[in-house]
Amino acid sequence: MLKNIPVIFLLTITFCYNAFCADRSINVTATDKAPKLDAKINDACWDKIKWYSEFSTLNAPDKKPEAQTHFKMLHDNKFLYVLAKLDEPLMNKLKANIKQRDGRVYDDDCLELFIDVNKNQVSYYHFIINSLGTIYDAQRRQGGHVATKEWDIDGIKIATEKYSDHWVIEMAIPLVKLGIEPDNSGIWGINIARDRQSKKEFSTFMPLNGGFHQPGHFGDLVLKDADLKAFSWEIKAPYAIKTISQNGKVFINNKLYITNDTGKFRFIKIKTKLLNHDESKITTTGLPNETGKEVQISTPAGANGNTLLVVNIINRQNNNLLATRLFPVNIEYSPLKINLTQPFYRNCIFSTESINELKGEIISNLESLTEVVLLIELKDSAGETVSSKVIKEITNTNDFSLEIPDLKYGEYHLCAELQKNNKKIYSAKIPVKKLPPLKGEVRIDKNLITLVDGEKFLPYGWFSYRDEFDLAQKQGYNIYVNYNAYYKSDKKLKEWLDENVKNGLKAIIYPYPERKYNNPERWQKPLSTEEAEGIRNFVRKWKSHPGILAWYMADEPELRPALPARISAIKKICEEEDPYHPCIMLNDTLDGIHKYIDGGDIFSPDPYPLFIQNKYAAKPIEKVGKFIEEIAIAGKNKKAAWITPQGFNYGDYGRVNNRAPNFVELRNMQYQAIIAGATGFTWYTYYRAKPYPDLILGVEFLGKEARLLKNVILSPQKRIAMKTGDKYVKAVYYKNIDGADWIIVVNNATEAKQLELILPEDAPSKWYILSEKKQVDSNGKTLKDRLNLYDTNIYTSSKLLADKLSTASTQNKINEMKKTKK
Amino acid sequence: MNKLFFLIAVTITTLSVQAQDSEKLPIIAYWSFDNDSGNTLIDSGPNKLNAVLKSKDDTQKILTAEGMKGKALFLEAKSKVKYVIDDKKNLLNITPPYTICAWVKKTAEKPKSMCIFSKKFDSHSTGYDFRISWNKLNSNVGNGSESFAVSSPYKSVKDNTWNHFAITNDGEKIILFINGETAQMKIVPEDISNVTPKANKAKAVIANYVGRPDAYNFVGLIDELYIIAKVLTNDELFQLAAP
Write out pLDDT tens, residues A398-411. Answer: 999 999 999 999 99
pLDDT at B20 over 50: no
pLDDT at A23 over 80: no
- Give residue A643's identity as a one-letter amino acid code: I
* Entry field: residues in chain A: 822
Q: Can you tell me the mean pLDDT for A425-435?
A: 95
Which of A265, A286, A288 is facing B181, going by the closest CB pair? A286
pLDDT at A28 over 90: yes
Distance from CA of B119 to the nearest CA of A (A): 28
Residue-level pLDDT at A19: 47
Angle at B75 between CA B72 and CA B76, to 5 degrees: 135
pLDDT at A8 over 70: no
Which of A265, A287, A317 is facing B68, going by the closest CB pair? A265
Of the listed ranges A172-176, A438-442, A588-592, the least confidently predicted one is A588-592
pLDDT digits (tens, 9 = 90+) for A111-133: 999 999 988 887 899 999 999 99
Residue-level pLDDT at B2: 58
Q: Can you tell me the mean pLDDT for B219-225?
A: 98
Distance from CA of B161 to the nearest CA of A (A): 7
Reduce the DSSP state of residue A348 to 3 states and report it.
strand
Q: Can you tell me the mean pLDDT for A331-355?
A: 93
Record: contact A288-B162, CB cut-off 8 A: yes
Q: Can you tell me the mean pLDDT for B113-138?
A: 92
pLDDT at A277 over 50: yes
d(CA A414, CA A427): 11
Torsion of the alpha carbons at A291, A296, A301 and A305, rounded to the nearest 10: 70
Record: contact A267-B241, CB cut-off 8 A: yes
Distance from CA of B85 to the nearest CA of A (A): 30
Q: A644, A586 in Cβ contact below 8 A?
A: yes
pLDDT at A713 over 90: yes
d(CA A745, CA A754): 12
Question: At CB < 8 Å, which residues of chain A contact B?
Answer: 264-265, 267, 284-291, 316-317
The answer to whether B162 contacts chain A (CB < 8 Å) is yes
Contacts of A265 in chain B (CB under 8 A): 68, 162, 179, 243
Record: contact A286-B241, CB cut-off 8 A: yes
pLDDT digits (tens, 9 = 90+) for A575-596: 999 999 999 999 998 888 988 9
Give residues with Cβ within 8 angstroms of A697, minimum separation 6. A663, A810, A813, A814, A817
pLDDT digits (tens, 9 = 90+) for A359-387: 999 998 877 788 999 999 999 999 999 99
Record: contact A285-B164, CB cut-off 8 A: no
Nearest residue of B to residue A284 by CA position? Answer: B181
Residue-level pLDDT at B18: 41
- The percentage of chain A sitting over the pLDDT mark of 90, rounded to a whole number, equals 76
Half-sphere exposure of A499 (CA within 13 A, CB side): 15
Assembly ipTM: 0.83
Record: contact B238-A264, CB cut-off 8 A: no
DSSP H/E element including A520: helix A520-523
Contacts of A289 in chain B (CB under 8 A): 161-162
Record: contact A264-B243, CB cut-off 8 A: yes
**DSSP notation for A682-750:** EEB-HHHHTT-HHHHHHHHHHHHHHHHTHHHHT-GGG-EE---SSTTEEEEEEEEETTEEEEEEEE-SS
Q: A335, A249 in Cβ contact below 8 A?
A: no
Record: contact A287-B179, CB cut-off 8 A: yes
Query: What band does B1 get if pLDDT is binned at 50, 70 and 90?
Result: low
- The percentage of chain A sitting over the pLDDT mark of 70, rounded to a whole number, equals 97
The answer to whether B180 contacts chain A (CB < 8 Å) is yes
Distance from CA of A314 to the nearest CA of B (A): 14
Residue A84, φ and ψ in degrees, nearest 5: -125, 135
d(CA A386, CA A379): 5
Q: Taking a contact as any Cβ pair under 8 Å apart, which residues of chain B between 68 and 97 contact chain A?
A: 68
d(CA A692, CA A688): 8
Burial class of residue A24 (count of CB atoms within 10 Å of its CB; 0-12, 13-18, 19+): middle
Query: What band does A571 get if pLDDT is binned at 50, 70 and 90?
Result: very high
Which of B179, B241, B243 is facing A285, going by the closest CB pair? B179
Q: Can you tell me the mean pLDDT for A714-737?
A: 95
The answer to whether B161 contacts chain A (CB < 8 Å) is yes
Which of A285, A291, A316 is facing B161, going by the closest CB pair? A291
Of the listed ranges A39-53, A79-93, A511-525, the least confidently predicted one is A511-525
DSSP H/E element including A325: strand A321-331
Of residues A68 and A307, more confidence is placed in A68
pTM of the model: 0.70
Contacts of B234 in chain A (CB under 8 A): 284
Q: Across all residues in chain A, what is the average pLDDT?
A: 92
Q: Which H, E and C letters describe chain B, residue by residue?
A: CHHHHHHHHHHHHHHHHHHHHHHHCCEEEEECCCCCECCEECECCCCCCCEEEECCCCCCCCCEEECCCCEEEEECCCCCCEEEECCCCCCCCCCCCEEEEEEEEECCCCCCEEEEEEECCCCCCEEEEEEEECCEEEEEEEECCCEEEEECCCCCCCCCCCEEEEEEECCCEEEEEECCEEEEEEECCCCCCCCCCCCCCCCCEECCCCCCCCCCCCCEEEEEEEEECCCCCHHHHHHHHCC
Query: What band does B191 get if pLDDT is binned at 50, 70 and 90?
Result: low
Residue-level pLDDT at B3: 56
Q: Can you tell me the mean pLDDT for A43-54?
A: 94
Which of A264, A284, A288 is facing B163, going by the closest CB pair? A288
Contacts of B241 in chain A (CB under 8 A): 267, 286
Residue-level pLDDT at A730: 97
d(CA A169, CA A543): 59
- Give residue A274's identity as a one-letter amino acid code: L
Contacts of B161 in chain A (CB under 8 A): 288-291
Nearest residue of A to residue B234 by CA position? Answer: A284
Residue-level pLDDT at B146: 86
Q: In A380-516, at which residue ranges do the beta strands (DSSP E only) sit?
A: 385-391, 397-403, 410-420, 423-434, 442-444, 450-452, 455-457, 460-463, 479-482, 506-509
Q: A243, A331 in Cβ contact below 8 A?
A: yes
Record: contact B242-A288, CB cut-off 8 A: no
Which of A284, A285, A288 is facing B161, going by the closest CB pair? A288
pLDDT digits (tens, 9 = 90+) for A206-255: 998 878 998 888 999 999 999 898 889 999 989 888 888 877 788 999 99
Record: contact B238-A284, CB cut-off 8 A: yes
Q: Contacts by A118-125 with C-beta closer than 8 Å and gap 24+?
A: A118/A179, A118/A180, A118/A181, A118/A184, A118/A188, A119/A185, A119/A187, A119/A188, A119/A189, A121/A189, A121/A215, A121/A216, A121/A218, A122/A215, A123/A179, A124/A189, A124/A215, A124/A218, A125/A153, A125/A178
Contacts of A285 in chain B (CB under 8 A): 179-181
pLDDT digits (tens, 9 = 90+) for A458-501: 999 999 988 899 889 999 999 999 999 999 999 999 999 999 99
Reduce the DSSP state of residue A806 to 3 states and report it.
coil
Q: A171, A141 in Cβ contact below 8 A?
A: no
Give residues with Cβ within 8 angstroms of A12, minimum separation 6. none
- Give residue A458's identity as a one-letter amino acid code: L
pLDDT at A804 over 60: yes
Query: What band does A302 get if pLDDT is binned at 50, 70 and 90?
Result: confident
pLDDT digits (tens, 9 = 90+) for A614-633: 889 988 899 999 999 999 99
Reduce the DSSP state of residue A569 to 3 states and report it.
helix
**Terminal C-alpha separation, chain A:** 21
Q: A594, A558 in Cβ contact below 8 A?
A: no
pLDDT at A17 over 90: no
d(CA A526, CA A569): 8
Contacts of A267 in chain B (CB under 8 A): 179-180, 238, 241-242
DSSP classification of residue A617: B
pLDDT at B12 over 50: no
Record: contact B163-A284, CB cut-off 8 A: no
Q: Which H, E and C letters describe A134-192, residue by residue?
A: CEEEEEEEHHHCEEECCCCCCCCEEEEEECCCEEEEEEEEEHHHHCCCCCCCCEEEEEE
Q: Can you tell me the mean pLDDT for A176-185?
A: 86
DSSP H/E element including A594: helix A590-595
Half-sphere exposure of A94 (CA within 13 A, CB side): 22
Chains A & B: contacts with CB separation below 8 Å: 39
Contacts of B162 in chain A (CB under 8 A): 265, 288-289
pLDDT at A5 over 70: no
Q: In A738-814, at which residue ranges do the beta strands (DSSP E only) sit?
A: 740-747, 753-758, 766-769, 774-777, 782-787, 792-796
The answer, yes or no, to whether the previous bond of B111 is cis (omega within 30 of 0) is: yes
Distance from CA of A258 to the nearest CA of B (A): 15
Distance from CA of A395 to the nearest CA of B (A): 27
d(CA A586, CA A529): 25
Reduce the DSSP state of residue A363 to 3 states and report it.
strand
Count of CB atoms situated within 10 Å of the CB of A237: 14
Distance from CA of A269 to the nearest CA of B (A): 11
Q: Report CA-CA distances (Å) from A773 to A375, A643, A810.
A: 62, 28, 13
Query: What band does A702 get if pLDDT is binned at 50, 70 and 90?
Result: very high
Query: What band does B5 get if pLDDT is binned at 50, 70 and 90?
Result: low
The conformational region for residue A322 under phi > 0 = left, psi -120 to 50 = alpha, else beta, is alpha
Residue-level pLDDT at B190: 64
d(CA A573, CA A571): 5
Contacts of B243 in chain A (CB under 8 A): 264-265
Give residues with Cβ within 8 angstroms of B55, minimum separation 6. B79, B80, B81, B82, B213
Of residues A134 and A590, more confidence is placed in A134
Record: contact B179-A316, CB cut-off 8 A: no
d(CA A77, CA A131): 27
Record: contact B162-A287, CB cut-off 8 A: no
d(CA A142, CA B129): 54
Give the closest residue to B98 by CA, choosing from B196, B183, B185, B30: B196
The answer to whether B181 contacts chain A (CB < 8 Å) is yes
Contacts of A264 in chain B (CB under 8 A): 243
Residue-level pLDDT at A561: 78
- Give residue A512's identity as a one-letter amino acid code: Y
Nearest residue of A to residue B68 by CA position? Answer: A265
Give the closest residue to A308 by CA, choosing from A279, A284, A268, A277: A277
Tell which of A265, A294, A314 to mutate to test the B interface (max B CBs under 10 Å): A265
Nearest residue of B to residue A290 by CA position? Answer: B161
Nearest residue of A to residue B158 by CA position? Answer: A291
Q: Report CA-CA distances (Å) from A404 to A362, A410, A413, A418, B99.
A: 18, 14, 13, 21, 65
Count of CB atoms situated within 10 Å of the CB of A227: 11
Distance from CA of B76 to the nearest CA of A (A): 22
Instruction: Give the residues across from B181 on adjacent strands.
Output: B178
Nearest residue of A to residue B161 by CA position? Answer: A288
